[in-house]
């Protein structure tokens, strides 16, 4: 089945009929109906599929294969349907030139093991050699092209690069949600050079949870936001003030809000120039009846390292502050309890961003406790990509979440009510 979207971004449930606006009416400016991988007659046809194989590598070894595993349902569907399947992806940031550190060769090997069949590999994503390999593909065979970002035309969305990448493919499938918010050659450009373009199962699932299930969320709808900068999250905060019942704000961006309210933040990371913006957000939330929960206390340190001395400030409302030579690195004990109590009341939870520097164990308590509270909740729980996913995996809580998004930036832009170029460019029903 296809997907029906209204307006910019996620504006209603997945399905061919019956769309309910998920965000304010001002976003509902047009209607799109996009085809699914299920709608493609792929037997005997060459299909170019954009996957997200941007996996972490250490000494040529894949350290987390989640993204590879996420693409397998769509890959199997196409192969079982008799497609001549060509996969393309980026990996890392090679700056438009060949760099062996970012080769997809290790991915081809691991994918072959996971599928239980040979995965052919092309040393380049364009050019005569890869074109020849594509031409020789038989039905049910699979070829992985080398890193698309070895060419500057990828990020530039150069038409000639996109046309060459599309090659002789009849159809294009985009199943790389993590890059769907970028208008690159392999996400948007190729769609102009094939007969039809469709979304894969992974993108379908992302849109189901980030759009359909948030159209009319079970309440209370609690959003947990972390991260470093208010400026990075201002649009999503503004959009969610129209939908959420409460916003929990942690991470370094909380310091900007606290600073704006007159509390001393010591050496903590903050955006002084965004103080007025923070106050505007707080005022807007109050006017709309949306609760914003900021830290009541903060765990601080003098040294940014494992094993460093830490302590927790007094409660801010009782005169607490972060002293000049100390830096906030996690939420404090009182805050942990307040945040977890709020999470326990939720009917729907969206979490994007850690509560502190969880990568260092002595600074990780807040993120771990919040992650556990989300996992223990009976609410629909959506983890919105990025560092939140890393935290969930670190604490082995993934199976207890309703849905874990594969794209941090893409999921944020959906929540902001924006279109995703990699979805918008797909073929209409």
- Confidence check: pLDDT of 29 > 80: no
Confidence band, pLDDT 50/70/90 cuts, at residue 23: very low
CA dist 83 → 53, 173, 177, 413 (Å): 20, 12, 22, 32
Confidence band, pLDDT 50/70/90 cuts, at residue 12: very low
Task: Evaluate whether 148 touches 93 at the Cβ level (below 8 Å).
Answer: no
Task: Work out the percent of the chain whose per-residue pLDDT is above 90.
Answer: 73
- Confidence check: pLDDT of 30 > 70: no
Domains 37-199 and 217-408 share a fold: yes
- Residues 232-271: tens digit of each pLDDT: 788 888 889 989 999 999 999 999 999 999 999 999 999 9
- Residues 101-130: tens digit of each pLDDT: 999 999 999 999 999 999 999 999 999 999
- Residues 178-227: tens digit of each pLDDT: 899 999 999 999 999 999 999 999 999 998 888 888 888 999 999 999 98
CATH class of 217-408: alpha beta
- Residues 154-180: tens digit of each pLDDT: 999 999 999 999 999 999 999 999 899
Quick one: fold of 37-199?
Answer: Rossmann fold (3.40.50)
Confidence band, pLDDT 50/70/90 cuts, at residue 9: low
- pLDDT of amino acid 60: 83
Task: Work out the percent of the chain whose per-residue pLDDT is above 70.
Answer: 92
Q: Give the C-alpha separation, 125 to 91, whole Å.
A: 13
Q: State the average pLDDT over residues 398-425.
A: 87
Q: Model pTM?
A: 0.85
Where is pLDDT greater, at 22 or 128?
128
- pLDDT of amino acid 10: 54
Confidence band, pLDDT 50/70/90 cuts, at residue 2: very low
Confidence band, pLDDT 50/70/90 cuts, at residue 390: confident
Q: State the average pLDDT over residues 366-370.
A: 96
Where is pLDDT greater, at 419 or 151?
151
Name the residues annotated as catalytic.
67, 229, 386, 409
**Range from 14-23, 85-94, 100-109, 318-327 carrying the lowest mean pLDDT:** 14-23
- Residues 67-81: tens digit of each pLDDT: 999 999 999 999 999
- pLDDT of amino acid 26: 27
- The domains of the chain are located at 37-199, 217-408
């Amino acid at each position: 089945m296809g997907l029906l979207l209204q307006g910019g971004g996620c504006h209603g449930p997945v399905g061919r009929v019956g769309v309910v606006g998920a965000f304010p009416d001002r976003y509902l400016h047009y209607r799109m109906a996009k085809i699914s991988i299920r709608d493609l007659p792929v037997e005997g046809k060459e299909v170019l599929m954009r996957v997200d194989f941007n996996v972490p590598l250490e000494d040529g070894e894949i350290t987390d294969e989640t993204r590879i595993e996420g693409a397998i349902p769509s890959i199997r569907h196409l192969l079982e349907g008799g497609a001549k399947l060509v996969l393309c992806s980026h990996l890392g940031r090679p700056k438009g030139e060949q760099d062996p550190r970012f080769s997809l060769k290790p991915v081809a090997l691991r994918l072959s093991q996971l599928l239980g069949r040979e995965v052919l590999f092309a040393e380049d994503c364009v050019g005569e050699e890869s074109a020849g390999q594509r031409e020789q593909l038989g039905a049910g065979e699979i070829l992985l092209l080398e890193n698309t970002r070895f060419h500057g035309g990828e990020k530039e969305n150069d038409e000639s690069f996109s046309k060459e990448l599309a090659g002789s493919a009849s159809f294009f499938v985009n199943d790389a949600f993590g890059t769907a918010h970028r208008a690159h050659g392999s996400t948007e450009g190729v769609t102009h050079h094939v007969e039809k373009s469709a979304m894969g199962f992974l993108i379908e699932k992302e849109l189901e949870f980030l759009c359909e299930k948030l159209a009319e969320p079970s309440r209370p709808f609690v959003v947990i936001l972390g991260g470093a900068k208010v400026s990075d999250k201002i649009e999503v905060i503004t959009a969610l003030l129209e939908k959420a019942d409460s916003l929990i704000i942690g991470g370094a961006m909380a310091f900007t809000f606290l600073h704006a309210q007159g509390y001393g933040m010591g050496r903590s990371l903050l955006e002084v120039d965004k103080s007025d913006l923070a106050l505007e957000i707080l005022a807007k939330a109050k006017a709309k009846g949306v609760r914003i929960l900021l830290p009541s206390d903060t765990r601080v340190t003098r040294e940014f390292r494992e094993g460093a001395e830490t302590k927790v400030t007094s409660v801010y409302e009782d005169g607490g502050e972060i002293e000049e030579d100390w830096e906030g690195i996690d939420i404090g004990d009182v805050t942990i309890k307040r945040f977890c109590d709020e999470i326990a009341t939720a009917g729907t939870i969206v979490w994007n961003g850690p509560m502190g520097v969880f990568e260092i164990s002595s600074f990780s308590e807040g993120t771990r406790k919040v992650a556990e509270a989300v996992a223990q909740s009976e609410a629909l729980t959506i983890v919105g990509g990025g560092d939140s996913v890393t935290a969930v995996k670190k604490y082995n809580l993934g199976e207890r979440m309703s849905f874990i998004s594969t794209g941090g930036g893409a999921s944020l832009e959906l929540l902001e009510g924006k279109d995703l170029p990699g979805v918008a460019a797909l073929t209409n029903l």
